[in-house]
């Protein structure tokens, strides 16, 4: 039986993180064509090693918290494959160990940009 993902184009933000790497691998095993957004060339190299040689993985270096980065990601996916079937917003993070009162404005902004702004921009 064919996978429901066979041949589907999946765009992933946060593809080189801990969760993103596992999700990317599974999608490729299911036959999806994956456009993986990454910030670090080194981490993208590690992702490619983890998933093995495949012509179904395309990488786009960019920043998921940036409008330019997210719009560029979609433009890249459309240029590569002509359409997008699935968008997975996996980019995210946290900084624990502090109460709300102890959390700096800089940390708050970082968390909101990474966890919320990235989703808004990539969906837009």
The per-residue pLDDT for range 68-112, each reduced to its tens digit, is: 999 999 999 999 999 999 999 999 988 888 888 999 999 999 999
Q: Are 77 and 11 in contact (CB under 8 A)?
A: yes
The pLDDT of residue 24: 94
With CA atoms as reference, report the closest residue to 15 among 3, 52, 45, 55. Answer: 45
DSSP 23-72: HHHHHHHTT-EEEEEES-HHHHHHHHHHH-S-TTEEEEE--TTSHHHHHH
On the question of pLDDT at 1 being above 60, the answer is no
∠45-31-78 over CA atoms, to 5°? Answer: 70
Q: What dihedral do alpha carbons 90, 26, 24, 118 form, nearest 10°? A: -20
- % pLDDT > 70, the chain: 99
Q: CA 32 to CA 9: how far, in whole Å?
A: 6
């Amino acid at each position: 039986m064919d996978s429901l993902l066979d041949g589907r184009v999946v765009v992933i933000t946060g593809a080189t993180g801990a969760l993103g790497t596992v999700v990317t691998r599974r999608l490729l095993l299911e036959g999806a064509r994956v456009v993986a957004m990454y910030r670090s060339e080194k981490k993208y190299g590690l992702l490619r090693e983890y998933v093995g040689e495949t012509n179904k993985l395309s990488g786009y270096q960019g920043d998921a918290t940036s409008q330019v980065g997210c719009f560029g990601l979609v433009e890249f996916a459309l240029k590569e494959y002509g359409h997008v079937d699935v968008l997975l917003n996996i980019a995210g993070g946290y900084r624990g160990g502090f109460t709300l009162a102890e959390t700096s404005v800089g940390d708050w902004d970082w968390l909101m940009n990474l966890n919320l702004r990235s989703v808004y921009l990539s969906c837009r």
